[in-house]
Amino acid sequence: MWNGANNPYEYDKDTGACALFGMINVEGKRFPSKDPVRAISNMRERGNGLGSGFAVYGIYPDYRELYAFHVMYLNHQAKRDVEKVLEENFRVVLSEELPTKEAKVWNPPLIWRYFVEPLTSKMREKNLTEDDYVVKNVMRINTAESGRALIFSSGKNMGVFKGVGYPEEIAEYFCLEEYEGYMWICHNRYPTNTPGWWGGAHPFNLLDWAVAHNGELSSYGTNRRFLATYGYECTMQTDTEVLTYAFDLLVRRHEIPLELVPKILTPPFWNEIDCMPQRQRQLLTTLRQIYSGLLMNGPFSIIVARHGQMIGLVDRIKLRPLTAAMKGNFFYLSSEEAAIRVVQPTLDKVWNLHGGEIAVGMVKVPVLV
Amino acid sequence: MRSYLLPEYVVRRDVKRCNKCKICIEQCTYGVHYYDEKDDYVLSRDENCVNCQRCVVFCPKRAIVIKKNPVSYRKNYHWTSEAIMAIKKQAETGSAILTGMGCDKPNLTYWDKLLLNASQVTNPSIDPLREPIELRTYLGKKGKQVELASNGGDVVLETELAPQLQLEIPVMFAAMSYGAVNLNVQEALVRAAVECGTYFNCGEGGLHPSLYKYGDHIIVQVASGRFGIHIEYLKVGAAIEIKIGQGAKPGIGGHLPGEKVSEEIAKMRMIPVGTDALSPAPHHDIYSIEDLKQLVYALKEATEYIKPVAVKIAAVHNVAAIASGIARSGADIIVIDGVRGSTGAAPKVIRDNVGIPVEFALAVVDERLRNEGIRNEVSIVVSGSIRNSADVVKAIALGADAVYIGTAALIAMGCTVCQRCYTGKCPWGIATTNPRISKRLNPEEASRRLVNLLNAWSIEIKEMLGGMGINAIESLRGNREQLRGIGLSESELKILNVKPAGM
């Protein structure tokens, strides 16, 4: 994925600090961009204008059965090449330039969106599920295009909008006031290694997984090589990518209940596990033994989302902040409580996540897809 | 025949300091020092000295200094003194030159060419004095995926993991057999293993019944001679290791001379007193990889599948392919012993010329097993070269689960790496079974030294991990991002799969 244009120093992972904000309506009711954009913009100090982004769920109800690909191109040749691959492997129902308008952003690439469905014949030939087929193709294109093109959003009825600029500028550029979603994940970035590359902004996405991340994984080398043995090739070489794949592996492929995921990613210490009742001790010990390569070390707080779920998680010893809050039908996650208060001054409940703790906001009724 | 050999070392005694207490005479097992009654002097036979430093340490007056013999052959980069002496020795004896300990040649240690990382600004380092840092490691087959079931909202664990060894520090004591070392040494090692929550490997020489009570911390070895193996032996250990090869002497067997086979040792090895104990070069029931699989399962059957089985090999050229075969043989742990691996006795020419550095072997084995998707089928343990906690950390970052230490443990107990283990006269009471000399090693004190060593390494490993912003050792395993190479060629960097320093 890297080349001289987007990563002149050949860095392997993100080092930086950031602001996170997420907001979900647990009834699945869609709402506009006003509150999320205002909240994330309130944490301006945590970014430096070199990367911001939004993952919005429930924005394409008319095409809810189709995968929505958002693709950035550095040149027209890349677009022709990718479109050829897309047409060979998918039925492309709609292809259009992503609507944008004048805004204070830096050097935007060409961005297109495609609504596609996998070609059944090809899928059967490879004996893959629909999701696995999409993952395989997305990874293949992203690896092969090596920085010239990037599929940065590939879920159904959701989309990622990201680039180089402050959050309110990116929101304006992508005309986010035109969209309504029931869940918004927002990110404001202070990068130290890939400034100026649109693909390097958060959230990261695969299928309907989106991850916004504040931190740095000291375990990145271990995590990446562990995930590679399960077929996940890290193409973007940022540590956030491994978090996305870890969730995909554990929750989607290995069907591990969400509440157990932190016991793998940010497990309790052995001396705590040793004191637990026998059955729990055995469960947690086995999880740590099998998935030792997925323990995420280093300072981080993350918001992970997929349809119907917004998950907050902080590192084992809480080196980065994350606040959760509830008000009526809304569940919030934010790097700072102030950002929540700015859009909702009175809250039913507010709490700071402990190290290794998870907070989940879920839509009560199954929504879409 | 008159010997043409020059003494390698000379003993210098300060006669003003020497009070003729004769402790040096008593301590030296090679007969270097003697007392000349006529002149009332303590004198030395320099040609016998092996530079073990025993007399130097024990001289109450600090009157003795051992020096490399300043008289040597004319300087020659090709015909070195070592090369000339070897020829002279062989011309006089007609035999292979024996040696002890690991290969002592330069340029084979790659640990020193790897540098570790630490966090600055973007990632806070963790202070091990204030925050927990975990070193616990489990060795054994892990499998790829957990199986869970749900029982009325409760998550029920369906996976039953293969048997595991639990280590509180990823450092174990390498195989040293009863015969190569004496019982005091083994007792010191196993007691330290118990105290530190790790394991001691008893090597191929049976297990003395007085050590059975420590069985939970003993790895019992099955080697090509099958000495001392019976069902009780297999059952008493926490794990079983099949020894195929040894880094110090890949491809050749072992030889415990009859003189060392005392009554007690004969009993443990189940052979007649005074007979040579010859371990064949190969296992004569393993001429191919599928035969190994049969032995792995024979041992598992015999012990009812409740303990892991390890397979130890020497690091040789095609080690990756061999390891891949072993991982598919049912073995739970692969042990790789590098070219620096130590021994009680080996032909010098083999020790110094056969095998490859364990750093390379480890890097390619870990990579190969990952590429084949079977890395979690086995744990990897490396041995042969580990000198300090930094070597341990680098080994784990390259991909090892744990390491074995042999020489380092012996040094902690007194060994000075004089390389004369094969003589059976070790003045430090280690590589000897002579009861008079063995008494010099007090298991209680030696075990204290070993525990201190592991505790010190444990602190240092935690400091290094904390510096990287890592608080559990599993986040270091295979984390080559934390390593950089210095002074390495492109191909060496490629094999190790690490970036050069500065990148």
Contacts of residue B168, Cβ cutoff 8 Å, sequence gap at least 6:
B135, B136, B196, B197, B198
Residue A15 has pLDDT above 60, yes or no: no
Q: Per the CB < 8 Å rule, is B475 touching A16?
A: no
Rounded Cα distance, B220 and B309, in Å: 10
* pLDDT (0 to 100) of residue B257: 78
**Domain that residue A185 falls in:** 19-222+300-362
* pLDDT (0 to 100) of residue B281: 94
A100-121 pLDDT, tens digit per residue, is: 999 998 889 999 999 999 999 9
Is A237 inside any structural domain? no
Residue A14 has pLDDT above 60, yes or no: no
Confidence of residue A369 (pLDDT cuts 50, 70, 90): very low
Pick the residue from chain A with its C-alpha nearest to B376: A290
B9-38 pLDDT, tens digit per residue, is: 999 999 999 999 999 999 999 999 999 999
Is A47 inside any structural domain? yes
Is A82 inside any structural domain? yes
* pLDDT (0 to 100) of residue A237: 59
Q: Per the CB < 8 Å rule, is B123 touching A316?
A: no
Average pLDDT for chain B: 96
Q: Which residue has the tokens 């290094």?
A: B464
Strand B333-337 relative to strand B309-314: parallel, antiparallel, unpaired? parallel
| Helices and strands in chain A: count of H runs, count of E runs | 11, 18
Chain A, 272 to 301: residues with Cβ < 8 Å from chain B are 279, 282-283, 286-293, 295-299
* pLDDT (0 to 100) of residue A366: 59
CA distance B482 to chain A (A): 8
Mean pLDDT of the B99-124 span: 95
Interface mutation target, options A218, A280, A285, A295, chain B, most CBs of B under 10 Å: A218
A296-318 pLDDT, tens digit per residue, is: 999 999 999 999 999 999 999 99
Residue A358 has pLDDT above 70, yes or no: yes
Is residue A313 within 8 Å of A302, Cβ to Cβ? yes
Strand B483-485 relative to strand B499-500: parallel, antiparallel, unpaired? parallel
Taking CA atoms, A360 is separated from A241, A250, A338, in Å, by 21, 16, 20
Residue A323's domain is classified under what CATH number? 3.60.20.10
Confidence of residue A4 (pLDDT cuts 50, 70, 90): very low
Is A276 inside any structural domain? no
Mean pLDDT of the B483-488 span: 98
Is A286 inside any structural domain? no
Rounded Cα distance, A264 and A243, in Å: 12
Mean pLDDT of the B93-109 span: 96
For residue A204, list its beta bridge partners: A211
Contacts of residue B39, Cβ cutoff 8 Å, sequence gap at least 6:
none
* pLDDT (0 to 100) of residue B34: 98
Residue B57 has pLDDT above 50, yes or no: yes
Confidence of residue A194 (pLDDT cuts 50, 70, 90): low
Mean pLDDT of the B212-218 span: 98
Rounded Cα distance, A146 and A149, in Å: 7
* pLDDT (0 to 100) of residue A16: 53
Confidence of residue B431 (pLDDT cuts 50, 70, 90): very high
CA distance B376 to chain A (A): 8
Is residue A222 within 8 Å of B478, Cβ to Cβ? yes
Mean pLDDT of the A73-99 span: 95
Is residue B471 within 8 Å of A297, Cβ to Cβ? yes
Mean pLDDT of the A210-226 span: 92
Q: What is the 3-state secondary structure (H, E, C) of B256-298?
A: ECHHHCCHHHHHHHCCCCCCCEEECCCCCCCCCHHHHHHHHHH
A328-354 pLDDT, tens digit per residue, is: 999 999 999 999 999 999 999 999 999
* pLDDT (0 to 100) of residue B368: 98
Q: Per the CB < 8 Å rule, is B157 touching A283?
A: yes
Q: What is the 3-state secondary structure (H, E, C) of A251-266?
A: HHHCCCCHHHCHHHHC
* pLDDT (0 to 100) of residue B405: 98
Q: Per the CB < 8 Å rule, is A192 touching B122?
A: yes
Q: Per the CB < 8 Å rule, is B148 touching A13?
A: no
Average pLDDT for chain A: 90
Is A355 an interface residue toward B (CB < 8 Å)? no
B71-91 pLDDT, tens digit per residue, is: 989 999 999 999 999 999 999
Identify all chain A residues contacting B503, using CB atoms and an 8 Å cutoff: 10
CA distance B382 to chain A (A): 18
Is A226 an interface residue toward B (CB < 8 Å)? yes
Confidence of residue A1 (pLDDT cuts 50, 70, 90): very low
Rounded Cα distance, A366 and A363, in Å: 7
Residue B440 in tokens: 């010099």
Is A261 inside any structural domain? no
Identify all chain A residues contacting B477, using CB atoms and an 8 Å cutoff: 222, 292-293
Alpha helices in chain A (DSSP H): 34-41, 76-89, 120-126, 130-145, 167-173, 220-228, 239-247, 262-265, 270-273, 278-290, 337-343
Chain A, 309 to 348: residues with Cβ < 8 Å from chain B are 316-317, 319
* pLDDT (0 to 100) of residue A199: 86
- B60: enclosing H helix or E strand: none
Among B146, B469, B477, the residue with its CB nearest the CB of A256 is B146
Number of CB pairs < 8 Å for A and B? 113
- Catalytic residue numbers of A read 18
Q: For B346, phi and psi rounded to 5 degrees?
A: -155, 150
B159-186 pLDDT, tens digit per residue, is: 999 999 999 999 999 999 999 999 999 9
Closest to B358 in 3D by CA, of B327, B374, B380, B377: B380
Mean pLDDT of the A259-281 span: 96
- B221: enclosing H helix or E strand: strand B218-222
* pLDDT (0 to 100) of residue A3: 42
Interface mutation target, options A18, A222, A276, chain B, most CBs of B under 10 Å: A222
Number of domains in chain A: 1
Chain A, 83 to 142: residues with Cβ < 8 Å from chain B are none
Confidence of residue A270 (pLDDT cuts 50, 70, 90): very high
Confidence of residue B92 (pLDDT cuts 50, 70, 90): very high
- % of chain A exceeding 90 in pLDDT: 75
Q: Which residue has the tokens 């090739």?
A: A233
Identify all chain B residues contacting A289, using CB atoms and an 8 Å cutoff: 138, 142, 161, 164
Confidence of residue A368 (pLDDT cuts 50, 70, 90): low
Peptide bond into A203 cis (omega under 30): yes
* pLDDT (0 to 100) of residue A5: 45
Rounded Cα distance, A290 and A287, in Å: 5
Rounded Cα distance, B189 and A286, in Å: 30
Is A269 inside any structural domain? no
Q: Give CA B42 to chain center in angstroms.
A: 38
Q: Per the CB < 8 Å rule, is B470 touching A286?
A: no
Q: Per the CB < 8 Å rule, is A270 touching B155?
A: no
Residue B94 has pLDDT above 50, yes or no: yes
Helix, strand, coil abundance in chain B, percent, nearest 5: 35, 20, 45
Confidence of residue A231 (pLDDT cuts 50, 70, 90): confident
Q: Per the CB < 8 Å rule, is B148 touching A257?
A: yes
Confidence of residue B319 (pLDDT cuts 50, 70, 90): very high
* pLDDT (0 to 100) of residue A25: 96
* pLDDT (0 to 100) of residue A2: 38
Is A278 inside any structural domain? no
With 0.90 as the threshold, say if the pTM is over it: yes
Mean pLDDT of the B479-498 span: 98
State the Cα torsion B221-B224-B229-B233 to the nearest 10°.
Answer: 10
B375-404 pLDDT, tens digit per residue, is: 999 999 999 999 999 999 999 999 999 999
Pick the residue from chain A with its C-alpha nearest to B401: A292
* pLDDT (0 to 100) of residue A195: 63
Residue B286 has pLDDT above 90, yes or no: yes
Q: Per the CB < 8 Å rule, is A226 touching B164?
A: no
The residue among B407 and A195 whose pLDDT is bigger is B407
* pLDDT (0 to 100) of residue B174: 98
Identify all chain B residues contacting A271, using CB atoms and an 8 Å cutoff: 132
Q: For B71, phi and psi rounded to 5 degrees?
A: -80, 115
* pLDDT (0 to 100) of residue A273: 98
Rounded Cα distance, A331 and A324, in Å: 7
Give the Cα-Cα-Cα angle B194, B195, B198 (nearest 5 degrees): 50
Mean pLDDT of the A280-289 span: 97
Amino acid at B173: F
